[in-house]
Amino acid sequence: AQTVTQSQPEMSVQEAETVTLSCTYDTSENNYYLFWYKQPPSRQMILVIRQEAYKQQNATENRFSVNFQKAAKSFSLKISDSQLGDTAMYFCAFMEWEGSQGNLIFGKGTKLSVKP
């Protein structure tokens, strides 16, 4: 069974600085998706970024980028120029590429605080 591990329960960063959140996963599949979701205090789950395992290029979305290391099964999220609005829980998630089951498997989350 696939598992997702986020080893940093809490992190903090100063506004405008850069922070990296870690995620590792375990799977025997070769093709899959990886995601980062953000959950601010409003509790809404917001997609931050997505990576297809077959793509060697790391995904980027504005200030958010990932470092995807397939062999190491590592998928870290880098937030540049951190803003107060980035304060949230961040969840790493795994999903199989093929098959009819498309459910997400989540890590336990990292609580990020951006300090002014």
Partner 1 sequence: DSGVTQTPKHLITATGQRVTLRCSPRSGDLSVYWYQQSLDQGLQFLIQYYNGEERAKGNILERFSAQQFPDLHSELNLSSLELGDSALYFCASSVPTSGGATDTQYFGPGTRLTVL
Residues that bind partner 1 (CB under 8 A): 33, 35, 37, 42-47, 50, 91, 95-106, 108-109
String of DSSP letters for 23-56: -EEE-S-SSEEEEEEEE-TT---EEEEEEETT--
Q: Which lies closer to partner 1 via its Cβ, residue 9 or residue 116?
A: 9
Q: Which lies closer to partner 1 via its Cβ, residue 56 or residue 103?
A: 103
- Rounded to 5 degrees, what are φ and ψ at 37? -115, 150
- Rounded to 5 degrees, what are φ and ψ at 84? -55, -35
SS3 86: helix
CB of 22 to partner 1, least distance (A): 17
CB of 81 to partner 1, least distance (A): 25
CB of 100 to partner 1, least distance (A): 5
Q: Which lies closer to partner 1 via its Cβ, residue 48 or residue 82?
A: 48
